[in-house]
A = this chain, B = another copy of it.
Amino acid sequence: MERLVLLLVRVASWLFTTCYLTNDFENPNFRERLRETVESLLDLKVVPVFNENDAISTRKAPYEDSSGIFWDNDSLAGLLAIELKADLLVLLSDVDGLYSGPPSEPQSKIIHTYIKEKHHSEITFGDKSRVGRGGMTAKVKAAFVASNSGTPVVITSGFASQSILRVLQGEKIGTLFHKDASLWEPSKDVSAREMAVAARECSRRLQNLSSDERKKILLDVADALEANEDLIRAENEADVLAAQDAGYEKSLVARLTLKPGKIASLAKSIRTLAHMEDPINQILKRTEVAENLVLEKTSCPLGVLLIVFESRPDALVQIASLAIRSGNGLLLKGGKEAMRSNTILHKVITDALPGSVGKRLIGLVTSRDEIADLLKLDDVIDLVIPRGSNKLVSQIKASTKIPVLGHADGVCHVYIDKSADMDIAKRIVMDAKIDYPAACNAMETLLVHKDLIKSPGLDDILISLKTEGVSIYGGPVAHEVLSIPKADSFHHEYSSMACTVEFVDDVQSAIDHIHRYGSAHTDCIVTTDSKVAETFLRQVDSAAVFHNASTRFSDGARFGLGAEVGISTGRIHARGPVGVEGLLTTRWIMRGSGQVVNGDKDVAYTHKNLPLQ
């Protein structure tokens, strides 16, 4: 019953209203009485509501020169906050907060933390200001006064759901004013956004260099890495020691460690990249549209990439060199366990960039930016490439509108047809499962033609798997026939020394099974019947489909693509193992001599393919 009573008191307390004259605040006695009254009311759990009285408020005196005068509820709120030493003042507006320009302009962005030194020149106030609302001007002025006196202020929308509660819970909505804001780290969102914008500008300059100049940058980066090997190794050792001290898993520590020779091998692969054919500004197609009107489709960088990677500092080097090669700007977000390694690698690489491009081509996001905040920057980042666990990839895919290049699942199948050469089948199955069981291109499910049930060849394969330590689970049929434990699900990536086995009626049921339960990554058929093989190769709708070759070949380096960006199971843009071309888009360039469309009445279209020069 006590709870109810308390509730009732609170409910009854909402509507206590008082009014003040505009210049009351200049009177010290008044201010003292006000403070005492409000404190007493609050002790009684009564929430007072204050309101400015339009009829008697003055609008003539300038606010700045008379801190004891208010002429609207915003200035009243600011004065009250100071007087009552409020912990926080929340000003509710009809927009989400303070914008850098009129909210209708696409380049206007909400300012999450107002920093006077930074934002004051950006924003002008008043009726014709870029901010555009008189109401906002009053709120910002009230926020200056209150925050400078020690009460932090948040301006946010009064229309958004539960905005006051969300501010109290520390959610980053609206615009925060705090007297120490300029001493803080750069505000999260602003800094990552600025890094992305700067990376795009640098990438445009990079794209403008000659092919030889871009090549030289890569060679300089390779030299710089080797020249700074001791420094890099020292920082990496510090990370490794810290990770060991913190009791991180052994596998993480292993991934974190730059092994001896790693710097040299990274430098070597960068030099290989430097000497490959320049992928950008290539003419992919040339068409004579009409006389003296020539159209070219050319390759160009995507723009700005965001790479989210875990542990491996070598990924930073690989990705940075791929970005330089493809003319892209880059934001890197590494794991905090590799912070020192990433910082030194980033410094060495960006120090090697020429002034004509600018160090900000590659940004290392080291502030407390959360991945979730970076993933909101879909207007300034063109592609996200997650390098890490399936969980990381899935989370990123689920929480961004930026296109993601990668794959969450790798449920790869090997299907042994009745016509298979069982020696080949054994070799492929063993390699596909055992060569690197945690790889995304490792076999997770072995499908076997039903005619091979209890055949010596299949028994040999199953025994070999078990001998190597592979746990075998069965689908409904195999579970019965082979008396093995039942698999929980056919759509399961063990990523370890385990696999599922199931029998199917024929190649068509194998294909159906793969379509139903697979992840469209890499699937393989083992058969000597070329007609059956072609059926499988033609029908299986996965990024990579193999005949008589291990699924482990599904890899950029093994495919001969040079450096690998990742493996994509998406169907848009790039699919399967992706090399530099996954970081490119195209541009149409047309050179004319004054041609106009004019209802297509005058132009004699020829649409002739021209040689690519």
Identify the A interface with B (CB < 8 A). Answer: 4, 7-8, 11-12, 102, 104-107, 204, 207-208, 281, 287, 289, 293, 295, 300, 302-303, 382-383, 401, 403, 421, 423-424, 427-428, 430-432, 435, 489, 491, 515-517, 533, 537-539, 541-550, 552-554, 558-560, 571-573, 575-577, 585-600, 603, 605, 607
Tell whether, in the assembled complex, residue B597 and residue A558 are in contact, meaning their CB atoms are under 8 Å apart: yes
State the Cβ distance, A279 to closest chain B Cβ, in Å: 14
Tell whether, in the assembled complex, residue B107 and residue A547 are in contact, meaning their CB atoms are under 8 Å apart: no
Q: If the complex has contacts A590-B549, A605-B560, are A571 and B302 also in contact, measured as CB distance less than 8 A? A: yes
* Whole-angstrom CA separation of A517 from B105 in the bound complex: 9
Tell whether, in the assembled complex, residue A382 and residue B571 are in contact, meaning their CB atoms are under 8 Å apart: yes
* Whole-angstrom CA separation of A517 from B106 in the bound complex: 9
Tell whether, in the assembled complex, residue A550 and residue B383 are in contact, meaning their CB atoms are under 8 Å apart: no
User: Nearest CB to that of A559 among chain B residues?
Assistant: B295
User: Nearest CB to that of A590 among chain B residues?
Assistant: B546
Tell whether, in the assembled complex, residue A595 and residue B105 are in contact, meaning their CB atoms are under 8 Å apart: no
State the Cβ distance, A337 to closest chain B Cβ, in Å: 27
Q: If the complex has contacts A11-B8, A289-B559, A302-B571, are A586 and B597 also in contact, measured as CB distance less than 8 A? A: no
Tell whether, in the assembled complex, residue B293 and residue A549 are in contact, meaning their CB atoms are under 8 Å apart: yes
12 extra interface residue pairs, beta carbon distance < 8 Å, beyond A208-B539, A548-B591, A558-B597:
A106-B491, A107-B491, A289-B558, A421-B594, A537-B591, A542-B587, A545-B587, A546-B590, A548-B592, A553-B592, A558-B605, A572-B573
State the Cβ distance, A127 to closest chain B Cβ, in Å: 15
List 25 A-B pairs, Cβ < 8 Å. Answer: A8-B8, A104-B489, A204-B515, A382-B571, A424-B593, A427-B596, A431-B597, A533-B591, A544-B588, A546-B589, A546-B590, A546-B592, A547-B589, A547-B591, A548-B591, A549-B594, A550-B595, A550-B596, A550-B597, A552-B597, A553-B590, A553-B597, A558-B603, A571-B585, A577-B588
* Whole-angstrom CA separation of A302 from B571 in the bound complex: 6
Sorted nearest first, the 9 A-B pairs with minimum C-beta distance are A549-B592, A560-B607, A431-B596, A424-B594, A552-B597, A544-B588, A550-B596, A573-B573, A546-B590
Q: If the complex has contacts A208-B538, A575-B585, are A552 and B105 also in contact, measured as CB distance less than 8 A? A: no
State the Cβ distance, A535 to closest chain B Cβ, in Å: 9
State the Cβ distance, A393 to closest chain B Cβ, in Å: 14
* Whole-angstrom CA separation of A517 from B8 in the bound complex: 56
User: Nearest CB to that of A582 among chain B residues?
Assistant: B572
Tell whether, in the assembled complex, residue A543 and residue B435 are in contact, meaning their CB atoms are under 8 Å apart: no
* Whole-angstrom CA separation of A24 from B590 in the bound complex: 85
* Whole-angstrom CA separation of A598 from B575 in the bound complex: 24
B105, B383, B517, B547: the one contacting A590 at CB < 8 Å is B547
Q: Which residues of B contact A427 (CB under 8 A)?
A: 594, 596
* Whole-angstrom CA separation of A600 from B587 in the bound complex: 38
Tell whether, in the assembled complex, residue B572 and residue A576 are in contact, meaning their CB atoms are under 8 Å apart: no
* Whole-angstrom CA separation of A287 from B431 in the bound complex: 22
Q: If the complex has contacts A401-B401, A545-B588, are A289 and B553 also in contact, measured as CB distance less than 8 A? A: yes
Q: Which residues of B contact A431 (CB under 8 A)?
A: 596-598
